Amino acid sequence: MTELADDRVLIVEDEEPILAGLVELFAGQGFAPDSAVDGVMALERLAANEYRLVILDLMIPRIDGLEVLRRRRAEGDYTPFLILTAKGAEEDVVAGLEAGADDYVTKPFGIKELVARAKGLLRRSTQEPETLRCIHVGEVTIDSDLLRVSWSGGELRLTAREGALLSYLASRRHRVVTREELLVDVWGYRDGGVRTRTVDVHVQQLRAKLAVVPGGADFIRTVRGRGYRFEPDLR
């Protein structure tokens, strides 16, 4: 039987000083942090408990973080995963997002940025009422509660971040949504002017993922110098 705590967070990190600091940080933010120092221990923790959030370093021993993420997604675990990756390792970011990560932070990271990203992921379940939860585009249904895109003969699973991003854009389909808005309202930053490519990377990965959906390649349009717009008509 699994345990469930509304404020339970799993932190997977093999560097003991960093792990101890993260545990202390999240405990101070009102969470109940649990920890693991390698991939085997992480999988054991995830099989035995349920968490609101997993903070996962990719470079961990025994089983690497990417494989941990892939296995959990393959088993139908769609808990939000925030991955930690080395600075400048963009290929790791892309691989992590393709494997189902919801967001990433590069090392060395700032405490404020990490907490903002974590809280941004946890805000998905308490988004403002105007955000659409179930979207119909022709034969395609986008359900941001179930984190699923479905159509006749096919289905695609979304991460928590992808579901929040799509529903936010669709709810504002009458206008262009700026990167700054997305950083504040979807990622949880207090300051949307922070310099980061996280929005662009996520949109790029989401577009690639939606390419298998009928008409999905045209769901999100880039408006140069301004931001993004959800293109199709809803019904």
pLDDT tens by residue, the chain, 235 residues: 333 446 899 999 999 999 999 999 999 998 999 999 999 999 999 999 999 999 999 999 999 999 999 999 989 888 999 999 886 677 888 888 888 898 888 888 888 888 888 887 876 544 444 556 788 898 999 998 888 999 998 999 998 889 989 999 988 888 999 999 998 888 877 666 666 788 898 999 999 999 999 999 999 999 998 999 998 876 5
- Dist CA 230 CA 150 (whole Å): 18
State the residue for tokens 């907490």. 115
CA distances from 228 to 175, 180, 183, 218 (A): 9, 11, 13, 12
The pLDDT, as a whole number, for residue 103 is 87
Site of tokens 């034969």: 139
* 153 φψ region: left (φ > 0), alpha (ψ -120 to 50), beta (else): left
CB neighbours of 76 closer than 8 A, spacing ≥ 6? none
- Tokens 């903070």 correspond to what residue? 55
Measured distance CA(189)–CA(117) in Å, rounded: 7
Burial class of 148 by CB neighbour count within 10 A (0 to 12, 13 to 18, 19+): middle
119 is a domain residue: yes
Specify the CATH number for the domain of residue 177: 1.10.10.10
Closest CA to 209 of 138, 170, 157: 157
In a domain? residue 55 = yes
Spatial distance between the Cα atoms of 116 and 130, rounded to a whole number of angstroms = 22
Strand partners, 148: 143, 157
Q: What is the pLDDT of residue 210?
A: 95
Q: Are residues 92 and 31 in the same domain?
A: yes
Closest CA to 83 of 74, 190, 72: 72
Give the residue from 125, 144, 168 where a domain finishes: 125
Domain of 163 in residue numbering reads as 127-230
Does any domain span residue 235?
Answer: no
Predicted confidence at residue 124, as pLDDT, reads: 55
Same domain, 50 and 67: yes
> Cis before residue 33, ω within 30 degrees of 0?
no
* pLDDT of the residue at 197: 80
